[in-house]
Structure formats: C-alpha cells, structure tokens
Structure 1
Amino acid sequence: MAIQYHVAKSGSDLNKGTEQDPFLTINKAASVAAAGDSIVVHEGEYREWVKPKNSGLSEYRRITYQAAEGEKVVIKGSERIQEWQPVEGSVWKVVLPNEFFGDYNPYIEEIFGDWVVYNPGRHLGDVYLNGMSFYEGETLEQVKKPQIQTEVMDHWTQKTVPVHNPDQTQYVWFAEVDDKTTTIYANFHDANPNEELVEINVRRSCFYPEVTGINYITVKGFEMAQAATPWTPPTADQPGLIGPNWAKGWIIEDNIIHDAKCSAISIGKEASTGHNYRTIRKDKPGYQYQLESVFLARQAGWSKERIGSHIIRNNTIYDCGQNGIVGHLGCVFSEIYNNHIYNIALKREFYGHEIAGIKLHAAIDVQIHDNRIHDCSLGTWLDWQTQGTRVSRNLFYRNNRDLFVEVSSGPYLVDNNIFTADYALDNHAQGGAYVNNLMRGKMVHRKMLDRATPYHVPHSTEVAGFAATYGGDDRFYNNIFIGDEGFEGVGTSHFNGYPTSLEEYIETVHQEDGDHQSFNKVEQPVYINRNAYFNGAEPFEREQENLVMNSFNPGLQIIEEGEEVYLSVELPEEFGQLLGEIQSTATLERVRIVDAEFENPDGSEVRVDTDLLGTQREETSVLGPIAQLQKGKNLVKVWG
C-alpha cells in the first residue's frame, strides 16, 4: 500500500513523517520511501543535497517528490553566511574551517576536465548577494579594484560580444585555502553582507542519487539553485544540480532551476565508462576515449531496458555556467519539452567545447520539442549519434548560435522551428531532414572525414557500424530562409554540385577507382525542394520549385511582452503561391549510411503535419513553421 510522507520546516526527523507529524529534511523521507510512495514537501528553504536511496519499480510504481500544492519550496546547494568581517573599503572576508565543506570544498575544486579550453583558475565556488551571482577574481587585487567589463570574447566566433549584465562585473570574489581554513573575500560595494542575504556554494548537487540505478523517480514543483556542479564533458562523470545518475524513467517537471556552476539537469553518463582520461592520462585524443566510452557503456548494460527514457518538461532553467540540460549516453529515448531555457554560459568565466542550453551526445530517439531557448552561448548542440532524434516546434532567439548538429549520420528530423540567431545553424552532420523551419542567420556546412563515429541499429543502443561525416544526405523541404548583410551561407547553396538521387550518387562513385577512397571524393545526394529564399539567401542550384526574392527583407523580429513572445515578419505578395507538401516516412528518402528510415521512436510512420502552434496542416500548406502565415505583415504569438 502506497504511503504519503510529509516534510516541513516545523518537523523533526524523529517524527513519523505524517502530515500532522512531518519530517524535517527531505533526505529523511528519501531514506524510507519505497516504490509507489510519494513525498510532499511543504513551504520553506531546504539547504540539503537530496540523495534518493530507493528506486521506483515501473511507470506505475514510481517514487514521487513534490512541492505541496500552492507552496514555495526551495532546495539550495548553498549556505547563508553572516559572519563577514570588513577588510578595506567595500571588501569583506569570511574565514571558514575546511570541515564546514566536508569532503567537497568548491573553493579548492577547479573547473577541470576534457575539452576545457579556457579557465584562468576558476573554481566551483560562488558568492551570491540577494540571489545575484558574483564573478571570481584571479587575485585579491581584482576584488579590491574590480575591472568593469562591457565586452568579452566569444570563443566560438572569435568576436567580442557584450557581457551579460555589465553591472555584475563589479561584484567579485576571491578565495584562499590553506590546510585548515577557507577565506573568501568579496566586494559588496554599498551592501552590508551581514544585513543582506549572502550565500556561498557548498554542495555539489541539490537532487542527485549517490549511486546508479535509482529508477522511476518524479521530481515536481521545486525551485532548486546554487550548486557547485563540476564540468560535464561526454568523457567523464556528468553530475548536474539535478539528475538520475545513470538510471531509467525519471520525470523532472514544473521546476525552477538556476545557478548551477556548470550544468543544471544531467541525464548523462557516469564515471565507470571513463572520467577525464584525455586530460589526466594525455595518451589518447578525447575522441578515442569517447569512442571507448560507448563500448564500455554497452558492456555495463547501456540499453533501452535499463537506461534513459526520461521526461523533462515544463521547467524554467537559467543562469548556469555550462548547460541547461546535458547528457551523454544516459539521455537515450528521452523527451524534453515545454521548457524555458535562457542565460546559459553568458558569464564566460570559463569556456570549453561542451556548452549549450541543451547539449546531448548519443541522443538516440530523443524528442526535443516546444521549448523556448534564448540568450544562450549556443541554443542546442547535438553531438555524435544523433539518430532518431527530432527537434520540433522550438523557439530560438538571441543565442550566439541556435543549433549545432555534429558528426552524426542520422536519421534526424528538424521541423517547424524558428531559428533567428545571427548564426543559425552548424551542420557538421549527414542524414538530416529540415522541414518547415524559419531560419534567419548564418549557416555553416562542413564535412568531418577524420572522425568516424558510431551509428546504431534503429531504436536501439546496439552499435551497427562507424562512419565519417561525408556531408550531404540531407533533406530540405518547405523552409523559409532569410539572409541579412554579413550573413554567410544562408540557404541551401552549400550543396551546389551534389547529386539529387541515390542512383546518381552510386553511378558517380563507381566511376572512381578504389574502395573507400572513392566515397571520400564523391558528394552524397541531397533532396531539396519547395523552399523560400529572402534577403540574400541562396538556393541549391538544382532545386526545381522554390521562391527566390533576394531583395525582399521580411524584417523579422522576436518581440517579448512579459511571458508572451511574438513573431513579427512581413512576407511578399508571392508568398502562398508555392505550397509545401506534408513530409513523412513515405516521402523522406532513407539515410544512406545507417540504411534507416525516418520514423517515430516506436517505429511507426512519422508525419510532419503539425505546425509550431499545434495546428494540423492540410495536405498542402504555406512554407515555414506556422500554417497561418500569409502575405503582408504577420504578428503571431509563438509562446505564452
């Protein structure tokens, strides 16, 4: 018989855990709750790392942790500090015994690991004044005389960009740690830290099991913040502020999650399949260790029966240093939808090749849809083994880049999205289908012939083979492309010179001598038709039906009004004369390398017949992500 446990700030861990006699800590409830039970947490601030002890047994016998209805429940990885001593001017310090941090001192632990590119000594600690995160100084002198920055280097584009909230750069901290104590210095300017809410990172996570295999957990309705999460590359343990730690069937929903030093929600791998060996051992490329991790995971039981199938929905995720959602291998068969993700990796205190609002490796059959992703260093990055993945009906804006798909062989589907960053798409993959998108911004298409990556038996983690990324084997139907001054490669002209059928490709390949060398020389086929190109966007030279108006500027804008977001775009008189047909498994050519069809995760036919707003399309409808677009001025609510 299922039991409902209660936790309240008025309780005691010696109590029975009933509504009238509640526990004091969530961890106490977590230690006794069994499959089918639920834990209701009442209003208040809980400074603890919740470590679920027991596993649910199925979708119907899960363990549910939830905030009491209508009550604000906050779980923090920080502690409030009120023993600050003045040093000079607006600089204060606090001296804490190292025992205060237990066996994890964030002011010793540095941002460290594979694919960290830039880190001038930054640590996992942080200081917060009334919820505002400080910057870490490299010296005590920088705390005493903070330098106000208005621009920083964006390491991807090698261009300077405005800092996120310039005023924040004045708030700086620095720590010194010896054998016995940790001393933190901070410049609070006009604030008295003993009279304001000042917190420091103490715990690694807020809600994360210590062991693997804790399945079927639901976490609902909490605010979770201020965790000293480490760097999470695909070749290491990937702990987040919250996550399942290599398990199956979690539901993370209706939460507000913010201020993870690195990653907020992790659905990634664990340490036994490799942990920063490239950085520690230095004897092989990270690429090689990542390959090995795939096979080590298979040996450790990486399969649909044991890992993944998580649901992440209706969360607000912001102000994190590396990722909003991260995962390698452990993310398989998951669904990520209706999340609002913003302000990810904008402080730029450190930098590496694993940063995005959503950053997934091996996103097999993962469905990413109906999310709002903005003001991120990179919106969504799908890296390696993007197979059966669908990115659908998402809204991207004000990101440094919107979407990056890397060294994957498909099939993957990108449909009914709005992409508006000046840098909209990095396509370093093959086997994709881009259908009914609105894409304004620079587009880059690249081959990757020096890194063969795995592909899988459809809808499985079983490895079927390896392939380099030859480029091409892509499908572009019913999209609207919008260029602008200074934008490069907008449209489909990257594919000029590519064949338009598998038969043409095979005929061309077999005119060459040799075996694999021939395939490196010949471009893969592409399937491109019925797209619109405005304001300098350029079409594929062999596209048979399209609308090309190089001099027409649609004046696209994303307008925020409170929690509502609107798309403003003007379309020419000719818009609507060329209609797009519904694309499906039957119309999208199979991908060449994987020899697989575009399908739903259950193997059924996929049909791109619902627009960004959830409207069912007619068999033919206007181009782009919104079926109600029409010639002239359009103002459409796309969120809220």
Structure 2
Amino acid sequence: MRPFNAVAVRFVAMVLAGFGTACGDAATQTAQRRVWHVAQTAEASDENDGTAQTPLRTIGQAAQLAQPGDTVLVHEGVYREWVQPARGGDGPDRMIAYQAAEGERVVISGSEVFDPPWEPVEPNQPRWEHVVRANLPEDLFEPHPRLADDNGQPQRYNPFNTPVRIGPYLTAEERMAPRDPNRAGFPELVVGEVFVRGRPMRQVRTTDQVKATPGSWCAADDGKTLVVNFLSWTKGPVEVTVRPAVFAPERRGLGYIRLEGFIIEHAANQAPFPQAGMVSTRSGHHWIIEDNVIRHAATAGLDVGSEVVAHWRVLQNQDIDEGPWADERARPVHETKLPEGPWPPEYNYVEAPAPSHSHVVRNNRICDNSLSGLIAVKADDLLIEGNTFERNNRRRLTPSENPDLEWVEAAAIKLHVTRRARIARNLIRDQAGSGSGIWLDNTNEAARITGNLVLGNDVGIDLEINAGPPILIDHNVVAFNRIDGLSSRCSVTVRFVHNLSMYNGRWGCIVDYAGTRGQFFGRRFVRPTGCEVRNNVFVGNQRGAIRFPIPKEETERKANRIDGNVVEPGQLFQLSGNANDAPSPEEMANLAKAWLDEAGVAKALWPDFDQWRTVDAWPRGCCNLETFAAAFGGPAARAMELGLPRLWEVTTRIPSEDPARYPEQGSTVEGLDPQYKIEFRDPGWQDVLVDPVADATEDFFGQTPPDGKVPAGPFGTASLQSQRLWLWPPSF
C-alpha cells in the first residue's frame, strides 16, 4: 500500500468517525472477532466452520456468516460468484473486512468458462475461417433477485438478451427487459460480453458483421445463440459474463465494509440510471475499497453513490424498488410516495440527506471497463485517492458512436449531486472515445480535485451544471487530452488554481455559459460568477490558453478573477459570446474597444474586430493577451518563453511478489506499471512567483510551501530545485 500524506490521514479519520465509534471496550471487541477462511482446496466446503484447516468454499457463504469486526480472508483461486454481504460492521473499529490473502492472487469473476460444441456458421466454410456458433443453455444463467416471472418466482437473467440502456431512470423490469429488434432499426448492443484468454472480444450487432470482423461476436436468436469470429491466435479458454454484479449487497444501506486486494472482473451490469457498478456499495456508507483491480465491467466498474438519479422520473415514480434496505436504514424521502400539493423541502433531491456517504477509494487500478471507472450519484464526503484509472469507456458506449444510446456517461470518474468529494493524487489516463478524465456533472458542491495526473482523455477535468459552495481544482497536471484540459460548463463558483495544462487538443482552460441548461431544482444560474483562473501555466494547447465569456456588464468584470497565470508569447485567448443573452458581435467589439482605451493599450495591439463580426462563432472574440486582460481589468497572465516542457513515460514490469494488486498474465494490462517524469527546458518558468491561494496550499506532491510568494503552476517550491521531477507513482 502506498503511503499518503497527513491531510489524507485526517480526511480518512474524519470519514470513519462520521457515524460514531465502535461499541464496547477493546477486550470485548477483540474476543468477538474471528477470521473466516475461504479457499479452493480439496478440504474446502461451505459446510465447514471456516478455519484455516477447514475453510469455506465460497466467499458468498462467508459473507452470510461474517459479523461486525470479522475478517473474510480469501486464498488463491478464481471465485465465480456474486458476493452479497448480508450485513455491515457497526463502527470504524468493527468493520467487516474482505481481504485477499497476502501474496496470493484472488479473482472474483462474474463470468463462467464456456466450452460448448462449436459449429461452423456456413456448412462449407474454409478451414482458415473461424466463424462459429454455439447455443447458450438456459442453466448457464442464474436467477436474479429483482426479476420475477408470472408466478412471482425469480427469473433467470440472460445478459445476451438484455440491451445496453443509458438514459433516464428505469425500473428493474424495464432495464432488464429483452431486446426489441425494432427499437433502433437494428439489433441493440447487449450487456453480455465474451472473453478469450482474458481479453475482451469486440461486440458487433449482426452475423454479417461478425463474418467481416475477426475477433468479434454477436448475440442471436433472442440471446440463445453466440456467433463468434475466432482468430487462430485467440483459441483458448472462453469466458462469458452471466452475473449482473460481482461484489454488491442485495440489501441497501450497509456500512463499514472493507474490500482489499482482489482482482474483480466480468460483470454483465446495466448502464445508468439507476447506477449499478460491478462493485457497488448499494447506497451504503463508510466503505473502504483499496488495493484492488476492478476491470472489464459491461458498464461501470465501481459505484459508491445512492444509485438513483436526481431527474424527474425518480421524483414522479411512486414505486421505486431497488431491493430491501438494511434494518436500521429508512428509505430516503425521495423514494417514497409523493405528498399532495407542493413538495416539502426534504423531497428536493439536492437538499435531502445523502444515503451514501463517507467512502474511501484508494490505491486501486480501475481499468478497461466498458463505460466508466467510478460513478456516484448523491454521495457525500468521498475520498478518491492514489488510484490508477485507465482505458475506461472501452466499448465507446456513447450516442456519437452508438446512436441508439441516449446519454453520455463515460468517464474515469463521474459524479452527480455530491458534497465535499476529494479527488487527489490519481493517475487518470487514456479513457477511450468520448470518455473524460474527471467529470463532475450536475449540482456538485465543495469538491476539491487536487494533485492528479490527467493524460490522454477526451476532456481532462470537466465541470458541468454546478453551483453552491465553490469547487476547487488545484495543482493538477492535465495534458494531451483530445479536447480541453480544464473545462467548466453551465457552472458558477469554479476555481482553477495552480494547474499545468499543456498540449491539449483545444483550450488549456475553458469557462462557458450555462445558457438555458443552468436551471435545476429551483436554482437559476446562467452567467459564470465567482469563477477563478489563477496561477496556472498553459503550454502548447492547440487553440489557445483561456476561453471565457465576455463580460456583459461592468459588474461582471469584477465577478470573476483571472490573474497570475503564465503562458507562452503569442498564445490565443477568447472572449466567447455564444449564449442566448450574449452581446451581439457589434456590441462585443464596442465593449472591447472601451476596455482597451481604458487600459491604454496601443491600437497596434488591438484584435481584428472585423473578424469578430463574422457569422462563424469560432473566430468571434479571439484576441491576444492584452485584450483579454483589459476585459477583466487586470493582468490576467504573464507571457514568457517556457521552452516546451517534456513529459516522459517509463513503463516497467510489475513486481511478481505483488500479484494480488495487479492483473494476471495475459490480460490487457499485464506487467505494466507506468512511471512519469517531467523535464523543464527553460529555467525562466521557475522565476515566476505569485501570491498563494489560501485554501489551495498543498502542491502536486502534497507539500505545503513556506510563507510568501510561490511559483506558478502545480509543483510548488520543487520546481525551484530541479528541472526534472517524477510525477508518478506518488512519492509523498
């Protein structure tokens, strides 16, 4: 386990203390605790008493027996089951812990080995073609606790006849209903998946596409048949996903559970909404999830929220049933029958207490999930620290690439309606397609995003439709993202402070209008106010450094703060005007001329206002640093030669003595542990000292600088001492 700094220690202590302390004196607690051993040896049986000599056979059986303070210790093997803890702990000193035995490789899987008689799709198929089909027997699939037949009996869940549905809230029956062949005019994608030698094969929609695409498969005959185009090199063990979850209680609201050291993979889980990760806290509280590999989920790898979403369909649904609640937990008010007349304040989803809260997600590798890595809706006091998120949105489950899908929910980390989340010291790289790095969407409050390395995603850090207590984004390195490095849309009180944003495909930082979208739950926020872009460094971004809405009135010039930034000479800026109530192009030009006159900027440095009058929105408002600074009445940035810093990736093999934390041989991430360092080629950057921001003191490395001015950018005084810094793994 990596060490983490004192600030994080205090945060974890606060989280775990949130629901009180353990009961009884220490001697009583110790006497009550026991270890339940689970193994796959010849002696193992679920009829045993769970000792080291006579272990249990399944983790699920241990999960039924474990009491507060107990540990479920799982020994080497592949456990193909859905683990459903029956209860949680009753305090921070009496958690129920699920742990992989030290030094042993323990996999919990939602798949089964599939070895049927394969038949050629075409009777006279050439030997070098490997397009085959096989039946999926009904008994391959297990009954689902929230699916019932006409007689009220549990119904088997077939993920190969269950379409991927991303969109507004659906009941269990709706989101697990069979495919409709006429819904989109072509067969829908399904949540089931096929793996060969640990690698996912590509799902396509029709048998003809399978024939044309080596390494692909599709579901046919209402999910009763699998059609696969095997490559010669892919022959080997075949696994198919059969379970909708791998580690998730049936009862909602359990608390004080620890999950540590496992490889968790291959769930056939449905997409939001509601949210249902392969690993799910199920609206619980005070979970610690650390040192795991969470990969290859059909949609989201991990959810740590309250499952349901804040949109209208939840508020109007009077029969929400996502399973029973823990005995001591009442159903949240937003899931109960609506009162007559105006709704009282407690029925407002944003204002109501969060059922899910106080989770710690630390030092995990969350990778290769088909949609998102970590998701949470309506969750408070989350700590997400020291994790590696990579290659999520593997199946590119977005409307731009699959038009039958309704919403975009793809990101390494995607949060809705959270309070006081802390996202710190994570490596977030290479989310596919439209997958963003960190995406805080819809009414998140008082979050802090600090010290992260965010590389090669769609948008690096994206804030959308947020208001309330400020969100602080500080001391991050955000680079090589396909669109913008730092982005705030439809939001107010967003603060970008001491970041390095470089080599992104569009803007280093963009703050944009809310337009007509910023009206939710009785709140109205349209034009950005209380936003800050301070003490950042912008290098090599393809369009320019900063895009910000043009101030419409004099009060708006003082409503936001832009200063202390460092940019290259000649970097482009933009005073955007693309909202419904934005000034006309002529008004924009007149405003800018007045500001430039006020600032005494020579006319030779004025922008081409004729270009602003074009009907094309892209060049409108583009300007140099002098014009941008004049718009906000102060020195927005300092231009200087930065020498184009270089970011180096060094990939090393994972040490074999630590197999439980990393994937097994043959997976898509086997044997690779990235290291990153940055090299500055121009020492001038180190000489730019700025006023510190009081509540953004710890730098990228978790160090607090001495009193006085500090360097711009994320590295604090470390950038004064060396021109080469190691960024990952964390060394704090």
| TM-score range for the pair, normalised by the shorter chain length | 0.7 to 0.9
Structure 1 residues 546 and 270: alpha-carbon distance in aligned structure 2, compared to 1, 3 A threshold: closer
Q: Does 1:137 align with 2:247?
A: no
1:379–1:402 CA contact under 8 A, matched in 2 = yes
- The DSSP-based 3-state class of the residue aligned with 1:27 is helix
Which segment is superposed worse, 261-270 or 341-350? 341-350
Structure 1 position 386, deviation (Å): 2.0
2:513–2:549 CA contact under 8 A, matched in 1 = no
- The DSSP-based 3-state class of the residue aligned with 1:35 is coil
Please point out which of 477, 489, 508 is paired with 1:418. 477
Q: Does 1:576 align with 2:630?
A: no
Which segment is superposed worse, 303-312 or 132-141? 303-312
Structure 1 position 452, deviation (Å): 4.1
Give the equivalent residue in structure 1 for 2:11.
none
Structure 1 residues 497 and 572: alpha-carbon distance in aligned structure 2, compared to 1, 3 A threshold: farther
Q: Does 1:201 align with 2:241?
A: yes
Structure 2 counterpart of 1:190, one-letter code? S
Structure 1 position 229, deviation (Å): 1.3
* Cα displacement string for residues 148-204 of structure 1 (whole angstroms, at most 9, x for unaligned residues): xxxxxxxxxxxxxxxxxxxxxx311111235xx7111111121474xx121011101
Structure 2 counterpart of 1:371, one-letter code? N
Structure 1 residues 126 and 306: alpha-carbon distance in aligned structure 2, compared to 1, 3 A threshold: closer
Give the equivalent residue in structure 1 for 2:410.
355
**Can you give the 5+ residue segments of structure 2 that lack an aligned partner in the other structure?**
1-31, 143-155, 170-182, 319-332, 337-342, 400-406, 574-624, 653-672
Which segment is superposed worse, 626-635 or 99-108? 626-635
* Cα displacement string for residues 197-256 of structure 1 (whole angstroms, at most 9, x for unaligned residues): 210111011100112111111100000001111112xxx321111011011111111001
Q: TM (normalized to structure 1)?
A: 0.79
Give the equivalent residue in structure 1 for 2:360.
311
Structure 1 position 84, deviation (Å): 3.7
Structure 2 counterpart of 1:446, one-letter code? D
Q: Distance in 1 between matches of 2:348 and 2:45?
A: 40
* Cα displacement string for residues 301-349 of structure 1 (whole angstroms, at most 9, x for unaligned residues): 98668531100000001111111000110x3211000000000114325
Q: Distance in 1 between matches of 2:310 and 2:689?
A: 49
Structure 1 residues 361 and 81: alpha-carbon distance in aligned structure 2, compared to 1, 3 A threshold: same
1:311–1:334 CA contact under 8 A, matched in 2 = yes
Q: Distance in 2 between matches of 1:387 and 1:8?
A: 44
Give the equivalent residue in structure 1 for 2:39.
8
Give the equivalent residue in structure 1 for 2:21.
none
* Cα displacement string for residues 122-167 of structure 1 (whole angstroms, at most 9, x for unaligned residues): 1001111111101112111221221xxxxxxxxxxxxxxxxxxxxx
Q: Does 1:52 align with 2:85?
A: yes
Q: Distance in 2 between matches of 1:482 and 1:24?
A: 56
Give the equivalent residue in structure 1 for 2:466.
408
Structure 1 residues 99 and 445: alpha-carbon distance in aligned structure 2, compared to 1, 3 A threshold: same
Give the equivalent residue in structure 2 for 1:186.
228
Q: Does 1:328 align with 2:394?
A: no
- The DSSP-based 3-state class of the residue aligned with 1:123 is coil
Q: Distance in 1 between matches of 2:723 and 2:674?
A: 16
Q: Distance in 2 between matches of 1:5 and 1:262?
A: 32
Please point out which of 440, 451, 474 is paired with 2:517. 451
Structure 2 counterpart of 1:344, one-letter code? N
Q: Does 1:79 align with 2:167?
A: no
2:398–2:409 CA contact under 8 A, matched in 1 = no
Q: Distance in 1 between matches of 2:552 and 2:387?
A: 38
Q: Distance in 2 between matches of 1:34 and 1:297?
A: 38
Give the equivalent residue in structure 2 for 1:365.
420
* Cα displacement string for residues 384-428 of structure 1 (whole angstroms, at most 9, x for unaligned residues): 122110000000111122111011114110010001124212211
Q: Which runs of structure 2 are paired with 1:504-523 in the superposition (5 Å)?
A: 505=555
Q: Say how many residue pairs are matched.
A: 546
Q: Which runs of structure 2 are paired with 1:447-486 in the superposition (5 Å)?
A: 447-452=513-518, 466-484=523-541
Q: Distance in 1 between matches of 2:355 and 2:678?
A: 45
Structure 1 position 95, deviation (Å): 1.1
Structure holding more helix per residue: 2
Q: Distance in 2 between matches of 1:139 and 1:125?
A: 15
Give the equivalent residue in structure 2 for 1:20.
53
2:367–2:391 CA contact under 8 A, matched in 1 = yes
Structure 1 position 613, deviation (Å): 1.5
Structure 2 counterpart of 1:141, one-letter code? D
Structure 1 counterpart of 2:513, one-letter code? K
- The DSSP-based 3-state class of the residue aligned with 2:368 is strand
Q: Distance in 2 between matches of 1:453 and 1:332?
A: 22
Structure 1 position 362, deviation (Å): 1.2
Give the equivalent residue in structure 2 for 1:530.
564
Give the equivalent residue in structure 1 for 2:267.
227
Structure 1 residues 523 and 209: alpha-carbon distance in aligned structure 2, compared to 1, 3 A threshold: farther
Please point out which of 275, 299, 303 is paired with 1:266. 303
Structure 1 residues 192 and 466: alpha-carbon distance in aligned structure 2, compared to 1, 3 A threshold: closer
Q: Distance in 1 between matches of 2:100 and 2:344?
A: 38
Structure 1 residues 390 and 237: alpha-carbon distance in aligned structure 2, compared to 1, 3 A threshold: same
1:91–1:188 CA contact under 8 A, matched in 2 = yes
Structure 1 residues 559 and 356: alpha-carbon distance in aligned structure 2, compared to 1, 3 A threshold: same
Which segment is superposed worse, 259-268 or 184-193? 184-193
Q: Distance in 1 between matches of 2:721 and 2:635?
A: 22
Give the equivalent residue in structure 2 for 1:253.
290
Q: Distance in 2 between matches of 1:78 and 1:357?
A: 23
Structure 2 counterpart of 1:432, one-letter code? V
1:470–1:524 CA contact under 8 A, matched in 2 = no
Structure holding more strand per residue: 1
Give the equivalent residue in structure 2 for 1:587.
none
Please point out which of 135, 140, 158 is paired with 1:105. 158
Q: Which runs of structure 2 are paired with 1:283-294 in the superposition (5 Å)?
A: none
Give the equivalent residue in structure 1 for 2:71.
38
1:15–1:23 CA contact under 8 A, matched in 2 = yes
Structure 1 residues 30 and 292: alpha-carbon distance in aligned structure 2, compared to 1, 3 A threshold: closer
Give the equivalent residue in structure 2 for 1:439.
501
- The DSSP-based 3-state class of the residue aligned with 2:209 is helix
2:451–2:475 CA contact under 8 A, matched in 1 = yes
Q: Percent sequence identity over matched residues? A: 27
- The DSSP-based 3-state class of the residue aligned with 1:31 is helix
Structure 2 counterpart of 1:471, one-letter code? P
* Cα displacement string for residues 573-593 of structure 1 (whole angstroms, at most 9, x for unaligned residues): 543333122212xxxxxxxxx
1:564–1:637 CA contact under 8 A, matched in 2 = no
- The DSSP-based 3-state class of the residue aligned with 1:379 is strand
* Cα displacement string for residues 266-295 of structure 1 (whole angstroms, at most 9, x for unaligned residues): 0123359779779999xxxxxxxxx98898
Structure 2 counterpart of 1:608, one-letter code? A
* Cα displacement string for residues 38-94 of structure 1 (whole angstroms, at most 9, x for unaligned residues): 100111000000011112112122111000111110000000111241314302222
Structure 1 residues 401 and 20: alpha-carbon distance in aligned structure 2, compared to 1, 3 A threshold: same
* Cα displacement string for residues 552-608 of structure 1 (whole angstroms, at most 9, x for unaligned residues): 551443423333433434354543333122212xxxxxxxxxxxxxxxxxxxxxx32
Give the equivalent residue in structure 1 for 2:403.
none
Q: Distance in 1 between matches of 2:510 and 2:354?
A: 37
Q: Distance in 2 between matches of 1:308 and 1:244?
A: 10
Q: Distance in 2 between matches of 1:274 and 1:467?
A: 16
Structure 1 position 354, deviation (Å): 1.0
Give the equivalent residue in structure 1 for 2:589.
none
Q: Distance in 2 between matches of 1:613 and 1:498?
A: 39
Q: Distance in 2 between matches of 1:77 and 1:132?
A: 15
1:368–1:392 CA contact under 8 A, matched in 2 = yes
- The DSSP-based 3-state class of the residue aligned with 1:250 is strand
Structure 1 position 627, deviation (Å): 2.1
Q: Distance in 2 between matches of 1:137 and 1:278?
A: 36
Structure 2 counterpart of 1:405, one-letter code? L
Give the equivalent residue in structure 2 for 1:397.
455
Q: Distance in 1 between matches of 2:232 and 2:516?
A: 55
2:299–2:370 CA contact under 8 A, matched in 1 = yes
- The DSSP-based 3-state class of the residue aligned with 1:359 is strand
Give the equivalent residue in structure 1 for 2:702.
614
